[in-house]
């Protein structure tokens, strides 16, 4: 199974790349975590958030591999506990489909991206910076996997 994180944003600091890579390599070969970084829409003094979301949304939708199940990371989405995420991960694996997880730019995801998603997932009600979202997402996906295989990493 492949989990593809499609994210809009700028160049990430080295510690983010290292952290994401570390959790990615801990996952088994049959559960690959891939990242697709897309460029931010050009911002200017007259840029409107809805225009920026629309431009970035077009890029995101084009980047979703055909046949993938889509989950949008959205502050208005459902809040999942780690055991709930483990159940979601198990269901995704059992379905045989790959999953794309969408992370919008600073202005969020477009309505078209949200409509494409079969689920909306909120990592937190807090506003989190994109670098931390990437690390948090990678760690939680790894932690969820450890629950599914009874690995001692997660302590309930």
| CB neighbour list of residue 92: distance below 8 Å, 6 or more residues apart | 1, 3, 69, 99
- Classify residue 17: in a domain, yes or no: yes
What's the structural domain count of the chain?
A: 1
Q: What is the CATH number of the domain that holds 53?
A: 3.40.1280.10
- Classify residue 117: in a domain, yes or no: yes
- Classify residue 24: in a domain, yes or no: yes
- The answer to whether 3 is annotated as binding is no
Say if CB 141 and CB 89 are below 8 A apart.
Answer: yes
Q: Residue 1 has which token pair?
A: 């199974």
- The answer to whether 124 is annotated as binding is yes
- Classify residue 155: in a domain, yes or no: no
- The answer to whether 136 is annotated as binding is no
- The answer to whether 137 is annotated as binding is no
The model's pLDDT over 6-59, given as tens digits with 9 standing for 90+, comes to 999 878 999 999 999 999 999 999 999 999 999 999 888 888 999 999 999 999
* pLDDT given at position 45: 87
- The answer to whether 31 is annotated as binding is no
Q: Which domain range does residue 97 map to?
A: 2-148
- The answer to whether 109 is annotated as binding is no
- Classify residue 156: in a domain, yes or no: no
Q: How far apart are CA 106 and CA 7, in angstroms?
A: 11
Helix boundaries (H) for 7-155: 14-26, 49-63, 82-95, 111-116, 130-148
């Amino acid at each position: 199974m492949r989990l593809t994180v499609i994210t809009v944003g700028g160049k990430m600091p080295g510690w983010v790349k290292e952290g994401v890579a570390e959790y990615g390599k801990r996952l088994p070969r049959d559960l690959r975590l891939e990242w697709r970084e897309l460029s931010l829409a050009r911002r200017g003094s007259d840029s409107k958030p809805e225009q920026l979301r629309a431009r970035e949304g077009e890029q995101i939708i084009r980047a979703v591999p055909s046949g993938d199940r889509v989950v949008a990371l959205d502050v208005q989405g459902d809040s999942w506990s780690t055991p709930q995420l483990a159940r979601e991960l198990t269901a995704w694996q059992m379905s045989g489909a790959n999953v794309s997880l969408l992370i919008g730019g600073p202005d969020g995801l477009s309505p078209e991206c949200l409509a494409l998603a079969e689920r909306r997932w909120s990592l937190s009600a807090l506003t989190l910076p994109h670098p931390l979202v990437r690390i948090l997402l990678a760690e939680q996906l790894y932690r969820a996997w450890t629950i599914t295989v009874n690995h001692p990493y997660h302590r309930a």
